[in-house]
Amino acid sequence: MAKSTDKIRITLDSGVSVEAQAPVIVSASRSTDIPAFYADWFFERLKRGYSAWTNPFNGVTSYVAYSNTRFIVFWSKNPRPLLEHLDYLTERDIGCYIQYTLNDYETEGLEKGVPPLSLRIETFKMLVDILGKERVVWRFDPMILTDKISIDDLVGKVRNIGDQLKNYTEKLVFSFADIASYRKVKSNLEKNGINYIEWDEASMNEFAARLSEMNKERGWNFKLATCGEKIDIEQYGIEHNHCVDDDLMIRFEYHDKELMDFLKVDVRKVQPSAPSMFEEFEDSPQIPEGAIMVASDTYAIKRKNNKDKGQRQFCGCIISKDIGQYNTCPHLCEYCYANTSKDAAVANWRRHKTNPNGDKIIGI
């Protein structure tokens, strides 16, 4: 059975033999928008069996092998390039879902590099038609307040998109922009002349209450969840999210024994209750507390907590291997946490294009 720390020997394109990490679950990626800009690269590397990864803290290059990969979580603001590659995942029997960040900051120009909102909504629906609405998660992330964006404005933006995505997704995930905690974000906003306003507990609660009410009134019935937030707003029906989520993986791929073994999951058939001399009707099934229903007659039980202890304190993600690299996303969003500068991101994007199939995402 594969483990998250498994290492195997692989042969590089150059013919050199090296050791590589062989993750079961891949995150593609928190560090850059792989689907938007590097989809062709990623699927070529998936076919070749490995890619290189550079540690952002020490600059050391290591290798990631895909021989054990059973599931991929994609993160993107423009995943349209995935459409031509999804059949390959089916061929390889690799599961996936997409964390689709679909914001509306067009008027304010905070995301100048993303396609028009109408096109991004169209892409969302195209992906749902192929994958199903449960595999395309809507993110409005981050919710940012400025001297030009009020809570009323954000509610209106969410209403506009939510009305168009009704019946096209199960969940809306959001976060409150925490500028003070991220020096890179603070620096980028100030450098770009964005007069941001920090969220406080009162404003978070006001927004959460209005979002929850709107979700009911407009009949969206989305599951609402926050990403990496300390504040508890469960009184509004808003839970803490697990963006790399083993519950979703279990729902989608419970038939994949290798993945279930890795997640320490038992899949069982529903058993009827013991008969009673006083019962005249069909026995009610016995389903343990905490079970995940995956079919009308089948449920799953997790035997361990798969949380990734290496993530932020309030992050609920399970363990996975992220294969992206900072300073490579040319969306050039004004509040970006993944780019030190726009110039660095553009320079690395250009390096990638000089060697688009190289083992490193930047081509060299």
pLDDT > 80? residue 208: yes
Tell whether omega for the bond before 341 is within 30 degrees of 0, i.e. cis: no
pLDDT at 285: 66
| For residues 108-118, average pLDDT | 96
pTM of the model: 0.94
Rounded Cα gap, residues 70 and 261, in angstroms: 11
pLDDT at 185: 83
Percent of the residues in the chain that have a pLDDT greater than 90, as a whole number:
84
pLDDT at 274: 59
> What is the per-residue pLDDT across 253-271, written as a single tens digit (0 to 9) for each?
999 999 999 999 999 999 8
Contact 45, 90 (CB under 8 A): no
pLDDT-based confidence at residue 184 (cuts at 50, 70, 90): confident
Rounded Cα gap, residues 123 and 119, in angstroms: 6
Tell whether omega for the bond before 356 is within 30 degrees of 0, i.e. cis: no
User: Could you tell me the end-to-end alpha-carbon distance of the chain, in angstroms, rounded to an integer?
Assistant: 34
DSSP for 239-273 reads: EEP-SS-HHHHHHHHTT-HHHHHHTTEEEEE-EEP
Three-state secondary-structure class, residue 205: helix
> What is the per-residue pLDDT across 76-92, written as a single tens digit (0 to 9) for each?
999 999 999 999 999 99
> What is the per-residue pLDDT across 295-338, written as a single tens digit (0 to 9) for each?
999 999 999 999 988 887 788 899 999 999 999 999 999 999 89
